[in-house]
A and B are shown apart, each in its own frame.
Chain A
Amino acid sequence: MQPLAKLLEAALFAASRPLTIDELASLDPAAGEPAVRVALAALRSAYSDEHGVELVEIAGGWQFLTRREYAETIERAQFALRPRRLSPAALETLAIIAYRQPVGRIEVDEIRGVDSGAVMDKLVERGLIEVVTRGEGLGRPLLYGTTPSFLEILGLKDLEDLPRLEELSVALRRPTPVDEPE
């Protein structure tokens, strides 16, 4: 393996969170970003089969993660535990915020048909959403967006990884005008 790939391997092993290309490139100022990308690709393929961990692109960065097939055994031994699952209400709220960001609480309430204040507070507390700006409307409402932690817990590279709305079986379209009864 190239020295740069080894250096990246060490840094990624040491870090407890995904490291961005910028962060990785800062390890060796002489290398430059393209070389880091090449080394990352090499590193990823080196870990592609023969190892219990693999190099994953996640939340705008790179991280070593254990392979899925070992989750149950590791968890049974209590070396690590899966995080708690998010409630349906939390996922609904996250889905709306992920697609509509920046979005205010009132809009989330309207789409869900229920008050979402408590759920949103919880999500802010867990660091999955944050206030990104203020709206122009009455009272300059706080507008929320998703955080890198949101991508991390879903294992997404970036927001582009979310399914496109057209791909869903129910497209969000103007309802076809209902035929007028005779």
Chain B
Amino acid sequence: MTSPILRDPGNSAFVVELEKFSGPLDLLLHLIREDEVDITDLPIAKIADQFLSVINELGLNQAADYLEMAARLLRIKAQLLLPRRLGDDEWEDPRAELVRRLLEYQQIRELVDWLGHAADVRAERFGRGYEAPPPDAPPAPLQIDLNDLLAAAERVIALIPEPMLHRVVPRPLDVEGATARLNALLAEREQFGWTDVVGRGATIADVLSAFIALLELAKRSSLTLSQPEPFGPMVITRATPREAA
């Protein structure tokens, strides 16, 4: 990594580009490297002061992760200042945990270089069936117009002859039958529409059965459901064997 710290001759303060650091450990490692100190024998007081001044400069004191590290450094600094008896076997270096984490993180950084290089080398070789990398932007949120919604509801209701919602349907939903019909359709056609499934004279029970069967088959990856546009006609497509696997 190139040195992100530029020393301004007129001002002894640090100028650091934030994007260069992926977190407080990265910043700490950078300071340690700058000062060329032994990572296993950290001069905590010095490093803590530098860390604090950098995050103050950058306004990183807003970032919780950096603040937490600053607090940790100050605590270690304070612990090191506490007097202790000579030959105290119980004493544990308060820096030990931080040193362990820094060494671990340093190893991760080394792996990052390795992985980044491997990815760069791989990126220089193209395979067949090249597909342009997908754009970064998330899909636009669904624009729902009340009229669209009502029109869609109308289309569904129109398929049901005389909707009599108050009547108790005497027979339960026939999901199995609908599943069988769908499987038969899938066997002979790769793609078909909702109207092919329910037909014109369908009852509420038929519509519901068909819908549940559709969802169930989609869940089992036997078919895929898609709509070319919001509230457009549903397209049912037979899943390819690879997708079904």
Q: Interface of A with B (CB < 8 Å)?
A: 13-17, 56, 63-68, 71, 74, 79-86, 88-89, 91-92, 94-96, 98-99, 110-115, 152-156, 162-163, 165, 168-180, 182
Contact = CB atoms under 8 A, between A and B. Distances in A.
A173 B103 contact: yes
Q: Which of B91, B106, B118 has the most CB of A within 10 A?
A: B118
A85 B119 CA distance: 8
Given A16-B128, A95-B112, A114-B23, A155 B105 contact: no
Which DSSP category, helix, strand, loop or mixed, fits chain A's interface? loop
B115 interface: yes
Contact of B122 (A80, A114, A153): A153
A176 B24 contact: no
Contacts of B86: 182
B22 interface: yes
B14 to A, nearest CB: 20
Contacts of A172: 103-104, 107
A154 B118 contact: yes
B contact residues, range: 35 or more
Given A74-B126, A114-B65, A170-B110, 11 more contacts: A13-B128, A66-B126, A67-B125, A84-B136, A88-B22, A88-B112, A112-B23, A113-B23, A155-B122, A162-B114, A165-B107
A71 B24 contact: no
Given A17-B127, A86-B119, A178-B40, A114 B22 contact: yes
Interface stretch (B92-100, B145-153, B161-169, B228-236): B92-100
A98 B131 CA distance: 26
Contacts of A177: 93, 96
Contacts of B25: 112-113
Q: Which of A68, A71, A114, A173 has the most CB of B within 10 A?
A: A114
Contact of A64 (B65, B127, B136): B127
A92 B128 contact: no
A70 to B, nearest CB: 8
B121 to A, nearest CB: 6
Nearest to B128: A16
B126 A154 contact: no
B69 interface: yes
Interface of B: 22-26, 40-41, 65, 69, 86, 91, 93, 95-96, 99-101, 103-112, 114-116, 118-133, 136
Contact of B132 (A81, A169, A170): A81
B128 to A, nearest CB: 5
B126 A111 contact: no
Contacts of A154: 115, 118-119, 122
Contacts of A66: 125-127
Contacts of B24: 113-114
Given A17-B127, A83-B133, A112-B23, A178 B95 contact: yes
B115 A95 contact: yes
Q: Which of B25, B101, B121, B125 has the most CB of A within 10 A?
A: B125
Nearest to B98: A175
A178 to B, nearest CB: 5
